[in-house]
Amino acid sequence: MSGRLSAGDVMTGDPVTIEATDSIVHAARLMRDHDIGDLLVADRGHLVGIVTDRDIVIRGIAESRGVETTHVGEVCSRDVVTVAPDDDLEQVVAIMCEHAVRRMPVVEAGRVVGVISLGDLAQEDGELALTDAKSVLTEISLARPNH
């Protein structure tokens, strides 16, 4: 290997997931309990989406949906782009910029094994990763929101 960083090198392993049929109040409580702003959404173990605290507010609460009766699958983003653990970090950053996403699920053999966030890029040792985090944040800030 050439010493280049891969998605697996910087990802946070064992991400918190939620079922698409769970309520948005359950999702909010999981986010609170784990001090995170997003959850990967599964349907019988397969990744089907990602839900953020913003999704719950904009697509759920602001639309006067019941927090106990609205399912996560009704408010999550469904078109989830993923990467593999051995994908080159520069490629991952380019994909994050292209799709204007702050979080990128890492999938291996159909199973979610981690997630890469802007924070993961910023925390990685080395100037390259910090520059990448700034680059992604700039691209996302200029992109239209996906809600």
> Which of 125-136 are b and which e, b meaning 16 or more Cβ less than 10 Å from the residue's Cβ?
eeeebeebbeeb
CATH of the domain at 69: 3.10.580.10
Average the pLDDT over 92-108 and give the result: 90
Rounded CA-CA distance 38/30 in Å is 9
Asked if pLDDT for residue 147 goes beyond 60, the answer is: no
**Is 115 domain-assigned?**
yes
In the structure encoding, which two tokens stand for residue 57, read together? Answer: 């507010």
List pLDDT tens digits, range 67-77: 999 999 999 99
Domain count across the chain: 1
**Is 126 domain-assigned?**
yes
In the β-sheet with 46-52, what is the strand arrangement from edge to edge?
Answer: 17-19, 38-43, 46-52
List pLDDT tens digits, range 121-144: 876 555 455 555 566 667 666 665
**Is 2 domain-assigned?**
no
List pLDDT tens digits, range 18-33: 999 999 999 999 999 9
- Cα atoms found within 13 Å of the Cα of residue 138, Cβ hemisphere only: 8
**Is 147 domain-assigned?**
no
**Domain range enclosing 117:** 7-142
Asked if pLDDT for residue 10 goes beyond 70, the answer is: yes
